[in-house]
A and B are shown apart, each in its own frame.
Chain A
Amino acid sequence: MGTTVAEIKDIKKSFGSNNVLAGLNLKVESGENLVVFGKSGSGKSVLIKCLVGLLEPDEGTAILFGENVSELKERELNLVRKKVGFLFQSAALYDSMTVRENLEFPLRDLKPKTNEETDALIIEALTNVGLADAIDKMPSELSGGMRKRVGLARTLILKPELILYDEPTTGLDPITSKEISHLILDIQKKYNTASIIITHDVECARITSNRMIIIKNGTAIAEGTFKELAESTDEWVRSFFK
């Protein structure tokens, strides 16, 4: 493991009286898959949104590739964001665009590419998730699992150095879940990307994780490898793995 790609220092965030994050710390090294576990509503999505500056933390700092996110100007932030892929929990496909246009969209600011090159990238990304034949469909014609896979393809198309997966396998059948988990692992190997993987899926965590943290009451209460946490002496921690 090499340099630190992303770091969160003492982040606090509340919405009104709802204290979601209460001084959370984490670090991701390059080439590492970090799995984040936590109950529904524990602030996992809020955490990664703070990391990329979609939400402003009340306190604490988020650091991406050595840059303090809250101090960056819009242009600098956009440059950093191009190196980060974000798979949204709801897939967040643009409903007014076809699958092809969805995948083209993140590419449009890059150095001018010929149509053939763009097409090749789109087809490569869709083939990776096994959906090459859905290229001309509208998002409303896709099932939940297909939307998620298209979302994943759209995330991968920029070949990001850091990928944030928000529940990549939730709502998918066990077989597809397993395929996606292996895909996440393949991407890590192939492009040496670092990832934060938010999930409830034990199988996904087992396959993909190099390291895991568990969030409770807005802080990371446990940290270790999958094996260490699954054999933890803490009853509450172990309960996640049943």
Chain B
Amino acid sequence: MPTGLENKSETVAVSSSAYFLKPVKAFFEEVTAITRFAFRFFKELFMPRYELKELIRQSYLLGYKSLPLIAVTGFIMGIVLIIQSRPTLASFGAESWLPAMVSVSIIREMGPAIAALIFAGKVGSGIAAELASMKVTEQIDAMEVSGINPFKYIVVTRIIAATIMLPVLVILSDAISLYGGFLAVNLKGDISLHLYFSQVFQALAFTDIFPAFIKTIFFGFAVGLIGCYYGYNSAHGTEGVGKAANQSFVYGSISIFVLDMMAVQITSFFI
């Protein structure tokens, strides 16, 4: 007589494998969809008409919106890095190495990574929320029916703006961090600005600066792409707006770490 028990264990088995498979499948579907979105970006990038005015406006807005936060965190990061490393270096009697040490860690890693994460939080999720609410309020539909390509006007401009502006912001943030470092060195020592910066630059090689700059271009592209993807494809209804912002931050930050890891691998391969 069937008890229904064996049936039950079967469903458990099925649902537990589904439990593991589903997110994996969803992840790959998501990656595929984002890749397709990126292809569409490159296709439309080279076709007229070029929305130059909107591109400039977006670049200004993105840079302006995130500059204060990136500047403040950069400044604090410079100070903290010096204060934290001073005891260690002092125990080797190597305090004079402080400027060289901050410069390498800020330029190679800390500056790009922290600025990019802030950019993903502020700009990436901002783009996603903005596009999602444009979608909910039918603004994207309105553009489309008036015969204007909304992908080009809204998405292409924002992705390019993010790709251009993040490297600029990182350069500014690096400079501010190094200046913060200068102030922190002077808390317990005495070094002139000139000497400090000459030590900072002496420690840096082309192979520190160039790969770091290139990777920030990719970080900016990823943040813009992912923000636009989640905003442009957000679900029907208002709750879609919050979800789009959240997803774009989560996936934006993950992609920054993944790209960073790839950048380290590629750089160490060449050097």
- Would you call B142 and A88 a contact (CB within 8 A)? yes
CA distance A82 to B144 in the complex (A): 10
- Would you call B147 and A54 a contact (CB within 8 A)? no
Min CB gap A105→B, angstroms: 7
Given contacts A81-B146, A105-B146, contact A49 B141 (CB under 8 A): yes
Interface presence of B21 (CB below 8 A): no
Interface presence of B261 (CB below 8 A): no
Stretch at the interface among A3-11, A91-99, A187-195, A224-232: A91-99
**Chain A proximity mask over B127-171: 1 for CB below 8 Å, otherwise 0:** 000000010011101111111110000000000000000000000
Residues of chain A within 8 A (CB-CB) of B144 are 54, 81
Residues of chain A within 8 A (CB-CB) of B143 are 94, 105
Interface size on A, residues (CB 8 A): 23
Interface presence of A172 (CB below 8 A): no
A82 CB contact (under 8 Å) in B49, B134, B142, B147:
B147
Residues of chain A within 8 A (CB-CB) of B142 are 86, 88, 92, 94
Given contacts A86-B142, A88-B142, A92-B142, contact A109 B137 (CB under 8 A): no
**Chain B proximity mask over A71-100: 1 for CB below 8 Å, otherwise 0:** 000100011011010101110111100000
CA distance A74 to B43 in the complex (A): 14
CA distance A95 to B134 in the complex (A): 8
B147 CB contact (under 8 Å) in A90, A95, A109:
A109
- Would you call A78 and B139 a contact (CB within 8 A)? no
- Would you call B145 and A86 a contact (CB within 8 A)? yes
- Would you call B139 and A84 a contact (CB within 8 A)? no
Closest to B137 in A: A90
Interface presence of A158 (CB below 8 A): yes
CA distance A105 to B144 in the complex (A): 12
- Would you call A92 and B138 a contact (CB within 8 A)? yes
Min CB gap B234→A, angstroms: 15
- Would you call B148 and A90 a contact (CB within 8 A)? no
B145 CB contact (under 8 Å) in A15, A84, A90, A109:
A84
Pick from B143, B147, B148, B236 the residue with the most CB of A within 10 Å: B147
Interface size on B, residues (CB 8 A): 15
Min CB gap B108→A, angstroms: 38
Residues of chain A within 8 A (CB-CB) of B137 are 90, 92, 95
Closest to B153 in A: A105
Residues of chain A within 8 A (CB-CB) of B139 are 92-95
CA distance A88 to B145 in the complex (A): 10
- Would you call A109 and B141 a contact (CB within 8 A)? no
Interface presence of A171 (CB below 8 A): no
Interface presence of A62 (CB below 8 A): no
Closest to A94 in B: B139
CA distance A78 to B153 in the complex (A): 15
Residues of chain B within 8 A (CB-CB) of A105 are 143, 146, 148
Min CB gap A87→B, angstroms: 9
**Which A residues from 204 to 240 make CB contacts under 8 A with B?**
none
CA distance A81 to B141 in the complex (A): 12
- Would you call B145 and A52 a contact (CB within 8 A)? yes
- Would you call A78 and B138 a contact (CB within 8 A)? no
**Chain B proximity mask over A89-126: 1 for CB below 8 Å, otherwise 0:** 11011110000000001101100000000000000000
Residues of chain B within 8 A (CB-CB) of A81 are 144-147
CA distance A76 to B39 in the complex (A): 23
Pick from A15, A79, A82 the residue with the most CB of B within 10 Å: A82
**Which B residues from 223 to 255 make CB contacts under 8 A with A?**
236
Residues of chain A within 8 A (CB-CB) of B141 are 49, 54, 86, 88, 92
Min CB gap B46→A, angstroms: 16
Closest to B54 in A: A96
- Would you call B148 and A106 a contact (CB within 8 A)? yes
Residues of chain A within 8 A (CB-CB) of B148 are 78, 105-106, 108-109
**Which A residues from 29 to 86 make CB contacts under 8 A with B?**
49, 52, 54, 74, 78-79, 81-82, 84, 86
Min CB gap B150→A, angstroms: 11
Closest to A78 in B: B147
CA distance A89 to B142 in the complex (A): 11
Closest to B49 in A: A109
Closest to A55 in B: B141
Residues of chain B within 8 A (CB-CB) of A54 are 141, 144-145
Beyond A78-B147, A88-B141, 18 extra complex contacts between A and B, CB < 8 Å:
A54-B141, A54-B144, A74-B149, A81-B147, A82-B147, A84-B145, A86-B141, A86-B142, A86-B145, A88-B142, A92-B137, A94-B142, A95-B134, A95-B139, A105-B143, A105-B146, A105-B148, A106-B146
